[in-house]
Amino acid sequence: MAAPVTLQGIIQDIVDEMRAAPDRGKVATYIPSLAKVDPARFGMAVYTVDGECHAGGDDEVGFSIQSISKVFSLTLALGKAGDQLWERVGREPSGTAFNSIVQLEAERGIPRNPFINAGAIVVTDVNLAGHPPREAIGELVQLVRYLAEDESIAINEEVARSEERTGERNRALAHFMKSYGVLRHAPDLVLGTYFHACAIEMTCRQLAAAGRYLMLDGRHPGGGRTISSIRARRILSLMLTCGHYDASGDIAFRVGIPAKSGVGGGILAIVPGRASIAVWSPGLNANGNSQLGSLALERLAEATGWSLFNPGRLSDR
């Protein structure tokens, strides 16, 4: 009789396949600190709704979460501004690169969605309201620690400084939006906070732990509510439609699970009511998403049957 399929076995098969994969994509170099990361790395962690964590590969190695921080920044900003946030940032897929400026002029400085750089810069501006800058970033780190139930999570200051030195494109986006009055604070202040948010470092285990509130319809795994059910649903909807920039449609097609990527090579993916998944492989494809991270999610979705569109369980297959 064949051995039963287990989640741990599925993860191990994926880790083995990804370790041997010849085409690993290219590590981001426009942030010099990220260029130093070893492209051979691959890690994966899955928290299931019963509280178990299954993991493999480099699941305990820290990496720069980069744009995955946009999920946590949005969570914080919705708590502060509520639906008024949507007056300053849209919720449509952009169909353009993560750092694109093209739509901003035609759309009078309002970014398409909170998961492209321009949108996250506006979200950061919202989170700065009523705070000295150090407190605003501190609040975000506190939120992530609370969600992951892990006080050791911190910012990698070297990565933040590295991006600060080379962040001309983000500076252009921020000044352009400031010219339309969409930003309330000084661009340099907003960008300093944004770069630090991107430089939060986490392992796959920590990131999957931090994502559990989205798996749990907005509830904290320790009990109580982090955000309302409707906000959790909206964040997940945006992850599905906008989480991978101009490849969001392709990822929805291939994986069918809401997910957010970052140029550090990480991806956070959520199967509502079922699993919070983090994968990390630093090499990126042409859209700036993790090459093997995307493939690993595709493999996981195939092997488990998990998707937004299939209510079946692993054990029902």
Closer Cβ to ligand GLN, 11 or 263, answer by number: 263
245 is in an annotated binding site: yes
Residue ranges in 113-152 that form contacts with ligand GLN under rule CB under 6 A? 117
Q: How far apart are CA 105 and CA 179, in angstroms?
A: 10
Draw the binding track, 164-183, toward ligand GLN (x: CB under 6 A; -: no contact).
------x-------------
In the bound complex, which residue of the shown chain has the CB atom lying closest to ligand GLN?
67
Q: How far is the CB of 133 from ligand GLN (least distance, A)?
A: 17
Q: State the DSSP string of the chain.
A: -PPPP-HHHHHHHHHHHHHH-S---EE--SSGGGGGS-TT--EEEEEETTS-EEEEESTTS-EE-GGGHHHHHHHHHHHHHGGGGGGTS--S---S-TT--HHHHHTTT--S-TTSHHHHHHHHHHHHTTS-HHHHHHHHHHHHHHHHT-TT-EE-HHHHHHHHHH-HHHHHHHHHHHHTT---S-HHHHHHHHHHHHTEEE-HHHHHHHTHHHHTTTB-TTSSBSS-HHHHHHHHHHHHHHTTGGGHHHHHHHT-S-EEE-TTSEEEEEETTTEEEEEE--EE-TTSSBHHHHHHHHHHHHHH--BTTB---GGG-
Name the pairing type of β-strands 275-280 and 259-261.
unpaired
Burial class (CB in 10 A: 0-12, 13-18, 19+), 234: middle
Closer Cβ to ligand GLN, 78 or 263, answer by number: 263
Is 27 a residue of the active site? no
67 is in an annotated binding site: yes
Is 263 a residue of the active site? yes
Closer Cβ to ligand GLN, 99 or 226, answer by number: 99
111 contacts ligand GLN (rule: CB under 6 A): no
Draw the binding track, 67-106, toward ligand GLN (x: CB under 6 A; -: no contact).
x------------------------------xx-------
Q: How far is the CB of 293 from ligand GLN (least distance, A)?
A: 12
Q: How far apart are CA 194 and CA 137, in angstroms?
A: 8
Q: How far is the CB of 127 from ligand GLN (least distance, A)?
A: 16
288 contacts ligand GLN (rule: CB under 6 A): yes
Closer Cβ to ligand GLN, 8 or 29, answer by number: 29
Is 194 a residue of the active site? yes
Closer Cβ to ligand GLN, 115 or 306, answer by number: 115
Question: Which listed residue (37, 43, 62, 66) binds ligand GLN by CB under 6 A?
Answer: 66
How many residues touch ligand GLN under the rule CB under 6 A: the total is 11
87 is in an annotated binding site: no
Which of 263, 276, 279, 294 is the catalytic position? 263
Residues in the annotated binding site for substrate:
67, 117, 163, 170, 194, 245, 263
Residues forming the active site: 67, 70, 194, 245, 263
Q: Contact residues for ligand GLN (CB under 6 A)? A: 66-67, 98-99, 117, 163, 170, 198, 262-263, 288
